[in-house]
Every structure is written in C-alpha cells, then in structure tokens.
Structure 1
Amino acid sequence: MGSLIDLNLYPDSPVRDTPDVTAGNLREATTFLTLNIPKLEPKEEPLDEPPPPHHHSANPNINFTHPDTSQPVQQPAGVANDVYSEFSRIQEMFRTAFSNNTEKPDAAGFIDPDAQAIVPVPEENQHSAVGDSSRRKSQQRSGELVRVTNLGVEDERYFRDVVRKTRMLYDSLRVFVTMEDEKRRSHQVFGRIPRARGDLKASSVMKDRGLWLNRDKRIVGAIPGVYIGDIFFFRMELCVVGMHGLPQAGIDYLTSSQSSNGDPIATSIIVSGGYEDDQDAGDVIIYTGHGGQDKYSRQADHQRLEGGNLAMERSMHYGIEVRVVRGFRYEGSPSGKVYVYDGLYKVIDSWLEIGKSGFGVIKFKLIRMENQPEMGSAILKYAQDLRNGQIKPVGYVHTDMSMKKEKLPVLLFNDIDNNHDPMFYEYLSTSVFPPFVYHLGGKGHGCNCVSGCLDDCVCAAKNGGEFAYDQNGLLVRGKPLIFECGPHCGCSATCRNRVSQNGIKNRFEVFRSRETGWGVRSLDLIQAGSFICEYTGVILTREQAQLFTMNGDNLVYPNRFGERWAEWGDLGQIFSDYTRPSYPSVPPLDFAMDVSRMRNVACYMSHSSCPNVLVQLVLYDHSNFAFPHLMLFAMENIPPMRELSLDYGEADEWTGKLAICN
C-alpha cells in the first residue's frame, strides 16, 4: 500500500526562528505575526469559496513590512498569472532575510517546534483581525496567515467582549428566528411550512452583514477572545467566530490557491469520532484524514494526500499548531451535540496504513501543547461524574445549603480553608416583599386561558403583544420589565409564560475561590438565554434601608445593577429600524435588599465588567411595578465549572468596593 502515497514529497526548506517581538500600540500589548513559509510545489484542490482579491486584507490601511528591513513589501499584480515572478520574489526575500539564520528539519524530517517561520507585522489597525461589526458587506476569507501574541489584560478583555457580543447576537438572532418560525407555523391552516433552521439562518444573516469575525486574516493558533473550554452548540457558530471556517469538513485549512507559497496549511480540526480509525486519548490524538467515505459515513475508498490531508502534513512539516475542537453528543443540547474548544496541538507524525474497513487511511498524531488550561471536554466529563456521584472530591462542606428549599440541591465546596460562612445564613429561595406590595392587584388581574397561553392573552398584551420566552423557555429579548402568568391566571403550571417563577433547573455549587472569595458555578451546561435563579433578599423601602445602613449593615441596591438586559436580543446590527425596548416603563427602583441574614446562591456571584449573567426584572405574583423580582439569565453558553458573574454596576463611594454581601 506504500505506493498509494508518498509523504516525503518535499525537499528541505529554510525556516526562520521566531523573532523577539515587543508589543506595539494595539491596546498597548497586541502583536500580529504573519506566517511567511517558503514556496514549494503548488497542489491543486477545490476552494471552499472564491479566492479573495490579491491584497493581504480588506483593510487598505494595513501595511506589511519586510522582516529585517522594516520596509513595506509590495505585492505584485497578477500573481495568479505570473507564478515565476511570485516565486522569485519570495525566494529573494527568504534568501536575504534568512541567509544568516536558518533552521532545517532534523533527521526525522521535523522542524523545531519553535521555528515557526513567523515575522512581525505593524500593530496599527490590528483590530481588523477580529472583525469590524460596523461593516455591512460580506467578506471572503483572507489567504493571509497571522498569529496573535502578547495580549495584555486590557486586550484580553477587549477581544473577549467582541467575541461575547458576537456570540450573543448569534444566539439571540437564532432564538428570534426560531420564535418567528413558530408564529408562522401556528397560523398556517393549509399545507406544511418547513421548519426553519435558526442556526443556519442566523449565521447567513450575520455573514451577509459582515458580522462574522476573523474574515480579513486567517489566524493560526489561539483566536483572541475565545477561551479554552468555550462551548458551542452549532457548527455554524464556530464559523461565525472564526474558530473553524468550514461548516462540514473536519479539517479547516488555507488552500494552495490562496497560499502565497502554494502550500495548503491546516488551522483547525474537529474531532467528533466520524472516522472509525480515530483514537482520542485527550492530550494525544490519532486523527484520521478526510475522504473515502460513502453517504453512510462508511470508509469505501482509499484516502489521498490532498486538500485538508495535505494541509495537515504541511502544518506538521512547518511545525505550525492547529486548534482542536471536540464534538460529541450531549443531552439537553438544542442541536443534540456540543462542540468544545480544547486548545492547541502540534502534528508530530503522519503515515498511511490499512484501516479497519480494509482501505488505506492517512493518520496524523497530534500532541497537545504544554502550559494550557485544562481541556473543556475533560471538564465536561468531570462535571458529569460529579452529577452522577461517580467521584466525590474532598472539600464538600454540605450537599445542600438550601436545605431542600430549591428543587435541586445547592452544594457548598471549600478545599482552601475552614471558612463555612455561607452555612450561617438562612437560605431564601424567593425574595420577601413588604405586605403592602401585594395590595395592588388581586383576582381578575390574570389571563383566562384554559390550556396553553397564546399571543392574544392578557399577559401577552402586558408584554407588548408577545411573550418574552420561546417554547423552550429561553429569553427572546431583554425588556425593562417582563410579566409572567401568575397565581391569578387560569393557565396551567406548564404555561410557556411561567419560567423564572418555577425555580432553578441546574445544579449549582457555591465554592471558595482565592480570587473572588466566594463564587458560584454550575455542574450543568447552561444554554444562553436560560433562566438561572432569582437574586433574593428581604426587600426594604427607602426609609427602612436608611435605618439599616445606620447600623452598618451592607445592602444590595437593585438600581445599581448594569442594564445588561438591553444587550440580550439587541438586533440593531441586523434591523435598521430596531429600537431598544422601552415598554413597559419601570419607575426608578427605590428599594434595597437586605441579605445580612437571609440570602440565596445568587448573592455569591462575583462582579465582572464582562459578565455571563444578566438581571431581568420580572413580575408574576403581584402588580406593583416598583417592586419587581430580580431574575438572572445566562448571557452566553456557560460551561460546567465556569464561574458565574454579574455586573453589579456602581461601586461604594467610600470603600471603592461593590456594596454587595460577599
């Protein structure tokens, strides 16, 4: 079978060492590095989309400099029609740049992992590598390979916020599309309307409006703003953020037609068990190349060293890392699967062998690079074992600090010190309001729906003519105030307009943290838009709050919470006539919450300027606008064991710290 393919097709090529680069002026710490790889024999394979114009970026202001002289490098016109001219240009550049500093493959044919043939690019306008959401023109993927390094704290926060807002737009648009499809189907009398794929529609609309990230540069290595362990429910969302650019293929790569040196380069792979010869041991992966399968996903032909397979071999040759995303079935996922980013791997070996089906398959051995956070897939497995009781780590102080007041137990974990402070408070599953709050509204103020509530019911009218949740209980759009069906409504307890009042649906854990003191995390995967819990306390009027503060008690002031609800469902980048919801209007929240003696799990959530949880005001058991419940919803897909965070807003003017209980 060795005659089917020869993996040693290329002569030795000089590769330059990684230069020592100091960060420039992109938020004072960001450096982009362009990968310049020696030109080798071009290989033909189909494009995943039309090639981009013959310039490096859609941004005309970006300048590209020679690695040593720092002089601008001019791109010749008509590269595709003058291969020899392009070859000569690159050959001369490498001859002059690397004449005194070259690295060659070792005897085994592998290049030093640190010799990655990268050179610096100036930092101006480098935000374009993540994407400019103001553009309204769909971009083709660039053929320029870059690596992002030396991100400072502010840069990490900036890029994380860009990715978070893009994913939030994708999720809220997907939920919106799905809900609109439900409305059309409910009003259809004759015939059948095909069910809309919200994930596909959302990604298509965002692409048409130029809202996909990382289109004008092809990033090798880590994507700024995407963390190891981040969870995705749909393949198209991976495309939207630039993590994996092909919606079906398992290997994403720069094609030879796009590459300046004529060699394809792999940038990411998805490991999902689609090939019977795959072997996944976590840090070490034996990955089967693509091709040779029939429509039933059975191996029916030999694989060939072309397309993504050749790109993987070339990435191995040049020592270029690839991103690894694992996909597997997961109960409760809207797509039935999850995709988790597990970090960077190096391809260290490739070979051809006879697979289980008797056909020749190309295999690649990948090893996870060191000094990375724990794999997200491993954390998912760990959390599953915790839920199932298969493991019991040392450090659990109590198995249910709610004392059965919640539908699911709330765990208390501390493996740092002997502090058991959360156990000294009475657990409060819902807020306690003053009695006069309930004097407004009584029987007759709810809907008269008998079975399920429809859009014409009284409670829907209070919400502006539509319900705030979709059929799966996900928040469609944040509003100043949401009305849920309550005790005076005729509908059943399973009504779609009863979500936050039904309590928690995830298993939470209050844990001791060296960074935040006490924190909260979930043992379950929380989907974006899902209800989390209520932020509870004893509600005090302004006069009562003044007396409490005189005694030195620390209170929570709801009017200080950041208005993050306005971000969820904000489709202003999609619809030009979109306006921020303003109905129903809510008077200033002129009350405080005493959590000095009674509280719940929400009180231990930490503050963040880039939170993953929002506060949504909700009314259901009374009609007093001035005293709503503070309900918490997920702003993004939150993996198990990741800390939950809120935007507590203003800081205390005396201490500079947030006026919260923890």
Structure 2
Amino acid sequence: MVVKSRVLRSATNGELHSSVTPEEKPKRAKGATRGRKNVKAAAVKGDAEEPSPSPQRRTSARIQIKQLAEKELLVRQRVEILDETDSPSKRKKKNGPVRSKRNTKSKDKAVAVPVSNDVTKSKDGGASEPMEVCALEKSTAADEGGPANVVEKSDHAKVKETLRLFNKYYLHFVQEEEQRCKKAEVAQKASKGSKSKKAAPEEDTKSKRKRPDLKAITKMMEANEILNPEKRIGDIPGISIGHRFYSRAEMVAVGFHSHWLNGIDYMGMSYSKMVIQYWAEKGISGFTVFKFRLRRIEGQSLLTTNQVQFVYGRVPKSVSEIRGLVCEDITGSQEDIPIPATNLVDDPPVAPTGFTYCKSIKVGHGVKLPSNANGCDCSGSCISSRTCSCAKLNGLDFPYVHRDGGRLIEAKDVVYECGPNCGCGPGCVNRTSQRGIKYRLEVFRTPKKGWAVRSWDFIPSGAPVCEYTGILSRTDDLDHVSENNYIFDIDCLQTIRGFGGRMRRSRDASLPANNSVDGIDDQRSESVPEFCVDACSTGNIARFINHSCEPNLFVQCVLSSHHDIKLARVVLFAAENIPPLQELTYDYGYALDSVYGSDGKIKQMPCFCGATECRKRLF
C-alpha cells in the first residue's frame, strides 16, 4: 500500500500541481517577489480593469521598442483573425473586450507556447480574471531577476488545465442560472394576483436565459484562454485516441472543435489540397453523411482498428459479472451502496484485511469536539445567500450548485456547510458533502501500488466522492508510532497561514474569532497540525485511494457541526470529469526528502502512479 501523506496540502491537491495556485500567483507576485514579475503583474491587472490612455511615465528605449513590437503583433493577429473567421460567433469574439493578450513572435509559435491560467482578483472581489503568460515573458522574467527554472507544461497538462478551467467557469454560470430561476419563480408567484403584470417576468426571463456551457466558452474566448484556437490539420497535442469529452463546449475549449452550436465544421477552400476525395452517403440513422479521404502525411503509418487499444472496460451490471471478486461489500452494509473488492493479481487472491470499516469519524482518547456552532435561520432549504449566515461565512455565496446532486464550484481553503443547529433540512444544497457515498465504487488490487479505488459511474467535476474517516487523534500521540501509513494530518490552519510552502486557494471564506490565525503564539502549532485522522485500524474507502502526481481528486477541508478549523472534516472531491473505471487518486503532498527513518536518515519511496508528469518519487 502506498504511504499516505502526513501533510494535507491544499494547494498541491488543487489544480494541476502548479507550485503556485492560479488564485494566488498574481498576489504573490505583487508582494513576495521583486523586479520584473511585479511590474508584469501590475501591468496585467491594469489591462484587465479598463483601457487607459498612454502613460506619461519615462521608459527606456529598450522597453519602448518592445511595446511597439507588441502593438504591431496584436494588430497582425487581429487582421489574421478577421481574414480567417467567417462565423457569427467568431465575429462576436473579435468585437468583444479582450481581457488578456498573447505575446508571441509569430502565428506558428502562438499554438505552441505554454499557457498558465494565472488569475487576478477583480475590484469587487468577485470572479477572477484569467491571465496568460507565454514562454517569451517567462524567459524575459528569468533574465531580469525572475525565476530561472521555469518548467514548461506538457501538452497533456495543458489540456487537463484548460478543461478544469472550463468546468470552473461552467459551474459559476450554473450557479447564476439557478439563482435566476429562483428569482423568476418568486416573481411569478408574486405576480399571480395581477393580470397586467403576468407577462413581464416571463419576457425578462427569456431575454436573460442562456446555457451555462455557452457562457463559459464565451468567457474563455474573450479572455483568449482557448487552447489551440486556430483550425489545424492532424492531431491535437495532448489529446489521444480514447479521450472522452462530455460536451461540445469542452471540445471547443481545447481546440478539438470550433463550432459550439453547429455540428459540422469547415476548413475553407485553402485546405482543398489536403482532400483527395469526398462523397455523401446515407448513414445508419437515415441522414446524409459527408465523408472525406485526406492526403496522408509523408511518413505517416497506417492505422487500423486492431491497432486502437480501448482503455475503458465494461462496467459490470451485477455482482455475478465481477471478475476476481474477493469481497461483495467491504463496508458490511454500512454504506447505502455496497463496495466490492476484486483481486486479479495475487495467487491465490486475497481480500483487504487488517482494518474495521467505519463510515464516520471516531473521536479518539484525549480529543474533545467543540460544541455545535450557531446555525442559520433558513427554513426547508437555504435559498438566499444574502440572508443565510452560513453562506456569509463562505464569502456571501453558497459554495455548491444543485446540479448532479450537488457540486463544489471551486476548491477553497475551507467550506462552511450547514450543521445541526441550522433551520434547513437534509436536502439543503449546503449539506452536499454530508450525504455519504453516492457512486458505485470498487476496491481493486494493482501489481505495484497495492489496493486502489475506481468508480463504476461517471463522476462530474466538483462532486464529493468520500470523506477521509478514521480515529480523530492528537498528532503528539502518534509521533512515536512507526510504519503507520494511514495518518492524515488536518493542516487547514497551516495552509491558511502559508507554512511549509502551502499555498492558499480562495480568500473568500471567513475565519471565526476562535480560529484567529493572528492569535497563535505556540511555535509548534504554527508548523505542525495539532490533530490528525488515523485510518490504520479503522477507516473507510478513502484509506485505499492512492497517490498520483496528476490526480483527479482534490482534498477539501469542510466545517459543518462546529467551526474549529483545526478539527475540520477532510473530504475528497472530483477535480475533473472522471469517466467510469478510471482509478481515483489525489496528491499526497509530500516534499522530496521530507521523510526520515528511525535512524535519522532520509527515506525515499518510488512513485508508480504512471502519470505523464510523474515526479518518479513519492518522497
């Protein structure tokens, strides 16, 4: 079994293992770094707010030449877009506000430059504005005192990052749509008694209605965040055979498709030399299908159906169809959905043993939970974020949307959910993580990583998967325990204070007075979490989830019954859309050379996650 982290790092378990989270990077650039990086962050922030007349500041001749070259490049890019784009949706993009500009030397290099979705906070503290930094800017920053060792992201990482950014925008607009529908429903009820005002709310509702996925892709187009925005012949970097998309907008976001509404794309007559033959025929459904035979690139090998390897298997429909079944339900019927265990590796096959399953946290010796916090005064279900006291703790908005049974919009430092003293019921959207496991999970044996977990169901991004349960203990009581690989430190407070290289995610949430980080004087509490969850002898499905350098889950601290952040619940959420039978993983958050043995020497463990960006070592 792969070792579980003694450190719960919010940043590393968040969005694609960047050394600085998207929400945090510009802020750090403003306060923590010097020289060129500060100047760039300020420049982008000013550009995102509103265009201003040419500044009267004195600048060097070198900077003036560079600014002139950038302006000329921008003009050329706009001319190229006007020449190549014919669709109404593209014309709308050209006329819309450009919130960030890509600084590249040529059109060819514009596709290949690495893009990082840095974010700057808007004036009103609302939605953040993405910023793109190209390779030219990074190298310049390194030349003038910035970080010298900038690692370019792989194409696979860029695709994953772009899809996660799309899903984040998508869920934000889903929340807007849900709020609009609630307001329209209230207005409709209020206008029932007045015949003259019946049509007005309906008319306003129709004019404001728009699909969240189209809003999200529009936002990415306006911010120049579409990956591979130009039409191209051949493969899309970072996308391989078998990749699954769950909406047409996702395909547009990564440049795999260019029309967000129309089903058929076109290349234009300039690409006719690539087409050898084309014809039309009736398809299986009776519709006309247009087919094209393209000219093969020189040296390109033939691809036949027997060369295509399908990475996704078939989901079993019943227990009798499960191959290698060693346990029908490791939970002992504690969960609403049974969790089977399979083993096709060991001979003879064995089931997972040595632990007692528990679906909720057990309080250990010497630990006392705080009293229940005061709740909100909502009735039935929390609706208005302006009146709900729990929503106010989350930055004046609910962290979840109702869609798909509840999804977290984005990762936060801490999420405040409704608790026992709240007036709302169990169906409230702000109790999403308290509803237990709702996906069909399976524990299966692997050749190198021990036991692992996968889902038989599709898991949408932001959906809660499970809580990390076990015995809630004091960290001091377990310091002497060796070879316990299932200890999970609750270090939310350390993450908020930024100790040990931890990076914050979102600063929207409040911190109650009893958790004031400014009042901590104990040096040990500043660097070492006071409490942890020990899942060695008692735990749930989360104890079997392995580490990955490119995880599809992230760790989220949640407060519900009380507001003591040192005793927060640890919940695993989907960081992206997860197809069935894909292994579930999260980043354990180890720093290399951070684990010592009983002899005082540094311990090392290889990583077998198999990710494209694997660090090759767990610690």
Pairwise TM-score range, normalised by the shorter structure: 0.5 to 0.7
Give the number of the structure whose alpha-carbon radius of gyration is greater: 1
Counterpart of 1:234 in structure 2 is 247
1:207 shift after superposition:
0.9
Provide the rounded CA distance (Å) in 2 between the counterparts of 1:469 and 1:497: 7
Deviations 1:2-55 (A, max 9, x none): xxxxxxxxxxxxxxxxxxxxxxxxxxxxxxxxxxxxxxxxxxx9965789xxxx
1:559 shift after superposition:
5.2
**Is 1:503 matched with 2:436?**
yes
Task: Give the aligned residue type for 1:166.
Answer: T
2:461 to 512, 525, 528: 528
Contact kept? 1:470, 1:496, Cα under 8 Å: yes
Counterpart of 1:639 in structure 2 is 579
CA-atom RMSD, angstroms? 4.3
Deviations 1:466-512 (A, max 9, x none): 21111221101222111211222222111111111110110101111
Provide the rounded CA distance (Å) in 2 between the counterparts of 1:216 and 1:276: 31
Contact kept? 1:499, 1:531, Cα under 8 Å: yes
1:441 shift after superposition:
2.3
Task: Give the aligned residue type for 1:278.
Answer: I
1:278 shift after superposition:
2.7
Counterpart of 1:165 in structure 2 is 161
Aligned positions of 1:294-333 closer than 5 A: 309=290, 312-315=291-294, 317-318=295-296
Contact kept? 1:478, 1:616, Cα under 8 Å: yes
Q: Closer, same or farther in 2 for the Cα pair 1:601/1:128, shift >3 Å?
A: same
Counterpart of 1:471 in structure 2 is 402
1:243 shift after superposition:
1.9
Stretch of structure 1 that moved more, 499-508 or 415-424? 415-424
Q: How many residues align?
A: 436
Give the 3-state SS of the residue equivalent to 1:166 in structure 2: helix
1:234 shift after superposition:
1.5
1:555 shift after superposition:
4.4
**Is 1:191 matched with 2:201?**
yes
Provide the rounded CA distance (Å) in 1 between the counterparts of 2:564 and 2:365: 11
Counterpart of 1:459 in structure 2 is 390
Q: Which has the higher helix share?
A: 2
Counterpart of 1:218 in structure 2 is 232
Provide the rounded CA distance (Å) in 1 between the counterparts of 2:426 and 2:507: 31
Deviations 1:519-578 (A, max 9, x none): 1110000001111001122122122122334xx43342335799999xxxxxxxxxxxx9
Counterpart of 2:361 in structure 1 is 431
Deviations 1:354-400 (A, max 9, x none): xxxxxxxxxxxxx53x4433165xx4xx11xx1x3286143011111
1:224 shift after superposition:
2.7
Contact kept? 1:446, 1:488, Cα under 8 Å: yes
Q: Closer, same or farther in 2 for the Cα pair 1:321/1:253, shift >3 Å?
A: farther
Task: Give the aligned residue type for 1:398.
Answer: C
Q: Closer, same or farther in 2 for the Cα pair 1:615/1:448, shift >3 Å?
A: same
Contact kept? 1:482, 1:618, Cα under 8 Å: yes
Provide the rounded CA distance (Å) in 2 between the counterparts of 1:459 and 1:437: 26
2:308 to 368, 372, 377: 372
TM-score by length of 1: 0.58
Provide the rounded CA distance (Å) in 1 between the counterparts of 2:180 and 2:85: 39
Counterpart of 2:112 in structure 1 is 128
1:278 to 276, 279, 284: 284
1:453 shift after superposition:
1.3
Contact kept? 2:375, 2:390, Cα under 8 Å: yes
Provide the rounded CA distance (Å) in 2 between the counterparts of 1:461 and 1:581: 10
1:648 to 574, 577, 588: 588
Provide the rounded CA distance (Å) in 2 between the counterparts of 1:320 and 1:583: 60
Task: Give the aligned residue type for 1:646.
Answer: Y
Deviations 1:428-449 (A, max 9, x none): 212223477655223x722232
Provide the rounded CA distance (Å) in 2 between the counterparts of 1:475 and 1:225: 26
Give the 3-state SS of the residue equivalent to 1:633 in structure 2: strand
Task: Give the aligned residue type for 2:356.
Answer: E
Give the 3-state SS of the residue equivalent to 1:202 in structure 2: helix
Give the 3-state SS of the residue equivalent to 1:540 in structure 2: strand
Q: Please list every run of 5 or more consecutive structure 1 residues that lacks an aligned counterpart in the other structure.
A: 1-44, 52-57, 65-124, 138-153, 268-274, 280-286, 291-308, 323-343, 347-366, 566-577
Contact kept? 2:328, 2:340, Cα under 8 Å: yes
Aligned positions of 1:312-461 closer than 5 A: 312-315=291-294, 317-318=295-296, 368=305, 370-374=306-310, 376=312, 379=313, 382-383=314-315, 386=316, 388-389=317-318, 392-417=321-346, 418=348, 420=350, 422-434=352-364, 439-442=369-372, 445-454=374-383, 455=385, 456-461=387-392
Give the 3-state SS of the residue equivalent to 1:593 in structure 2: strand
Aligned positions of 1:561-576 closer than 5 A: none
Provide the rounded CA distance (Å) in 2 between the counterparts of 1:176 and 1:228: 30
Counterpart of 1:106 in structure 2 is none
Counterpart of 2:3 in structure 1 is none
Give the 3-state SS of the residue equivalent to 1:318 in structure 2: coil
Q: Closer, same or farther in 2 for the Cα pair 1:163/1:243, shift >3 Å?
A: same
Provide the rounded CA distance (Å) in 1 between the counterparts of 2:451 and 2:425: 38
Provide the rounded CA distance (Å) in 1 between the counterparts of 2:152 and 2:447: 21
Q: Closer, same or farther in 2 for the Cα pair 1:558/1:162, shift >3 Å?
A: farther
Counterpart of 2:21 in structure 1 is none
Counterpart of 1:623 in structure 2 is 563
Provide the rounded CA distance (Å) in 1 between the counterparts of 2:379 and 2:275: 62
1:61 shift after superposition:
4.0
Q: Which has the higher strand share?
A: 1
Provide the rounded CA distance (Å) in 2 between the counterparts of 1:266 and 1:462: 62
Counterpart of 2:178 in structure 1 is 182
Deviations 1:40-75 (A, max 9, x none): xxxxx9965789xxxxxx9864698xxxxxxxxxxx
Contact kept? 1:617, 1:629, Cα under 8 Å: yes
Counterpart of 1:595 in structure 2 is 535
Task: Give the aligned residue type for 2:487.
Answer: V
Q: Closer, same or farther in 2 for the Cα pair 1:562/1:438, shift >3 Å?
A: closer
1:593 shift after superposition:
2.4
Contact kept? 2:366, 2:474, Cα under 8 Å: no
Contact kept? 2:439, 2:465, Cα under 8 Å: yes
Q: Please list every run of 5 or more consecutive structure 2 residues that lacks an aligned counterpart in the other structure.
A: 1-83, 92-101, 119-129, 133-149, 188-199, 497-504, 518-525, 597-601, 608-616
Provide the rounded CA distance (Å) in 1 between the counterparts of 2:276 and 2:160: 28
Q: Closer, same or farther in 2 for the Cα pair 1:449/1:252, shift >3 Å?
A: same
Contact kept? 1:163, 1:225, Cα under 8 Å: yes
1:620 shift after superposition:
1.6
Counterpart of 2:422 in structure 1 is 489
Deviations 1:124-157 (A, max 9, x none): x5862776757979xxxxxxxxxxxxxxxx9997
Q: Closer, same or farther in 2 for the Cα pair 1:375/1:415, shift >3 Å?
A: closer
Give the 3-state SS of the residue equivalent to 1:533 in structure 2: strand
Contact kept? 1:203, 1:240, Cα under 8 Å: yes
TM-score by length of 2: 0.61
Give the 3-state SS of the residue equivalent to 1:626 in structure 2: helix
Contact kept? 2:370, 2:564, Cα under 8 Å: yes
Task: Give the aligned residue type for 1:544.
Answer: D
Provide the rounded CA distance (Å) in 1 between the counterparts of 2:276 and 2:583: 36
Give the 3-state SS of the residue equivalent to 2:217 in structure 1: helix
Give the 3-state SS of the residue equivalent to 1:602 in structure 2: helix
Identity %: 29
Deviations 1:303-358 (A, max 9, x none): xxxxxx3xx4341x537999xxxxxxxxxxxxxxxxxxxxx996xxxxxxxxxxxx
Q: Closer, same or farther in 2 for the Cα pair 1:265/1:59, shift >3 Å?
A: farther
1:423 shift after superposition:
3.1
Counterpart of 2:511 in structure 1 is 584
Provide the rounded CA distance (Å) in 1 between the counterparts of 2:299 and 2:577: 26
